[in-house]
Amino acid sequence: MSSAITRRKLLSGAGSGLGALAISTMLAEEARAAKLHDPALSRAPHHPAKAKAVIFLFMEGAPSHIDLFDPKPVLNKLSGQPLPASFGKPITAMGTAGNTLMGAPREWKQHGKSGLWVSELYPHIAKHADKLAVLRSCQSDGINHAGGVGQMNTGDILSGRPSLGAWVNYGLGTANKNLPTFVSMIDDREPFGNAKNWGAGFLPAVYQGTLFRQGPNPILNTSLPAGQTDERQRARLAYLAAQNRDYAQRHTDDTSLDARVRSFELAYALQKSGPEVVDLSGETAETKALYGLDQPETAVFGRNCLLARRLVERGVRFVELYCGSGSGWDAHTDLEGNHKKWCKASDQPVAALLEDLARRGMLDETLVIWGGEFGRTPFNEKGTGRDHNPWGFTMFLAGGGVRGGQTIGATDELGLRAVERPAHVHDIHASILWLLGLDHLQLTYQHNGRAERPTIVAGEHIVKELWES
C-alpha cells in the first residue's frame, strides 16, 4: 500500500488541525479571562469612578412618562382626535396606532429650586426634585415586555447576553466577603424573562446575580437543615469542593462547575451574614415608617428599598429592585387605577431611599436609577389605557455623581418619539458603567473568537450631561 499523501488528504488534515487549534485557543482565552477576573477579588476601574454602587428601581410593565414626568399640554388639547398624519403610523404591540389621542388629565407642578415638572401621582418623589436628572428621551427596541425587559437588563431583546449587573460584577469584582456582589429583588411575582434578567449569559456563571424573594427567608437554602451541625456541614462542603475542583482542573472550559463551587461557598457565608442583612429589627421605628413599612400599600417595595440600602451599606455593588414584577404597570386598560396603585406603592419608598442615602452620606457614591422597559403611547387602548411606547420615554437618575435638578432630552409635543438628545438603552448602559468607572469599550470578554462588550456594537453616545454642566 502506498504511503503517499494526496493533496486532498493534506488539505483536509491541515484544515482539521487548524480548526482544532482555533477552538483550543478560544477556550484557553476564555479560561485565562475567567482566572484574571477572579470574582473573589476587587478590581480597579478604568478611570476614577463617581459611583461605587447602583440601585436600579425597575418599574416593570412600563410607567407612562406623559402622566408622570413629561407634561404635554398639546396632547390634552387634541385629546379625542386621531393621531396627526405627520406623526406616521407606528407599529405597536396591540395595533392601536389608529386609535384616538388620550390626554393626561394630571395636576402638574414645578418642584424644588430647579423647577422640575412632576405630576400629582408622585408627591413624595417631587420633594427630591433637585436630586433628579430626568432623562426624557430614552429609546429601546422591544415593543413587547419580554423584549423590553430583556433589553433594559441585558442590552438585547433576545436571550443569551449577560445582564448589566453581571458585567459590573465581572468588571469590578467584589467589595465584600460574605455577600453577593449583584442582587436582584422581586415583589409578589417573577418578572418577564425571569433569571435571564440577572443572568451571566456567556460570561462565567459565577457573575450572575443572587435572587432575593419575598418572605421571612429571601435567600433560599441558607438555613441549616434539621439535625445538621455547622462543623458537619463545613466538612461535607470541603469534601465536595475538593472533588469539584479536581474535576474542574480537568475540564477548564466548564465555568458552570466553578460557579457552583463558589455558590456553595457563598451560601455557607450567607448563613452567617444573610440573616443579619435581611433582619430589619435593628432599624428604628422612624426609618421603617419613612419607607412605609407600616402601610400595606407600600410595605413590600418599601422593605425592598430598605434592604437595598442595607446591602449597599455592606458592599454590594449592584442591586436591582422590581416594582410590579410580572408587568404590574402594564396599563392597557384603566391607566388611572393602575398608575394610582403602583405610584402609591413606589412613591414613598423611593423618596425614602433618596432621603435615607443622603442623610447617611451614601447618596454621593450610590447611583439610583428609576424606570421601566419603555413608556406608553399618547393614543388610547380600549378607551382607558395606553399601549407600549419604546420610541420615547422617561427615566431618572440621582446620586452617584449625577447633577440633579435637570431634564435632559425631549419627546415630541405628543410624547410619542424622542426628538432631542435621544438616548438608547445602550447609551444608558454605557453611561451607568462610566459613572462606575468602567469604559464600555474596554470592558470586553472573549466569546466565540469575538471581544464582546456590554453595549454590543453601540452605546458610543454616553449621556455626559448627566454629570457635566
In angstroms, the CA 136 to CA 392 distance is 7
List the single range of 59-63, 118-122, 225-229, 339-343 with lowest mean pLDDT: 225-229
Distance of CA 345 to the CA centre of its chain: 19
pTM of the model: 0.86
List the single range of 181-185, 246-250, 261-265 with lowest mean pLDDT: 261-265
Model confidence at 247, pLDDT cuts 50, 70, 90, reads: confident
- ∠ CA(428), CA(148), CA(320), 5° rounding? 60
In angstroms, the CA 408 to CA 468 distance is 12
Which one is predicted more confidently, 314 or 178? 314
Take residue 236 and report the three cell numbers written for it.
461535607
In angstroms, the CA 397 to CA 108 distance is 20
Whether 409 has a pLDDT exceeding 50, the answer reads: yes
3-state secondary structure of 243: helix
How long, in residues, is the chain?
Answer: 469
Whether 32 has a pLDDT exceeding 50, the answer reads: no
3-state secondary structure of 371: strand
In angstroms, the CA 104 to CA 136 distance is 16
Please state the φ and ψ torsions of residue 187, each to the nearest 5 degrees.
-105, -115
**pLDDT for position 11:** 47
CA distances from 307 to 214, 369, 438 (A): 11, 16, 26
For domain 42-223+278-466, the CATH architecture is 3-Layer(aba) Sandwich (3.40)
